[in-house]
Amino acid sequence: MRAYSLDLRERVVAAYQDTPVIAQVARTFRLSESAVRSYVRAHAAGQPLAPVRHKGRVRILGEASHTALRAQVEQYPDATLAEHVEYYFEQHGVRVSIKTMDRMFERLSITRKKDRPRH
């Protein structure tokens, strides 16, 4: 669900200043009473009414790790994901899960098809 616009938030606060009844303002703008209350409190405290952008989670393996990971795959082409996790930890000191390593391989379009063992 998207955040309500700054314009709507300002109109809600203005309506509350005209008619200080939260339930009535909420019905008028078809918002929850808690939303109206939070906009009014933010305005009273001098805080901005603009919606806050959430940045999401921080990636453990960022852009800098792409080159290192590609080199590791070239060096150990038949290694399993668990082995790649261990190699990465040994070389860079960063412990990641097998699932994180799998997502990085997918993001970098690295396939993990191994050679068949020859007897």
Asked whether 12 and 29 are in contact (CB, 8 A), the reply is: yes
The pair of structure tokens assigned to 32 is 């929850």
Helix (H, G, I), strand (E, B) or coil at 27: helix
Average pLDDT over residues 70-79: 89
Residues 81-90: tens digit of each pLDDT = 999 999 999 9
User: Which phi and psi angles does 55 have, rounded to 5°?
Assistant: -85, -15
101 dihedral zone (left: phi>0; alpha: psi -120 to 50; beta): alpha
Give pTM, 2 decimals: 0.51
Residues 10-40: tens digit of each pLDDT = 999 999 999 999 999 999 999 999 999 999 9
pLDDT over 70 percentage in the chain: 92
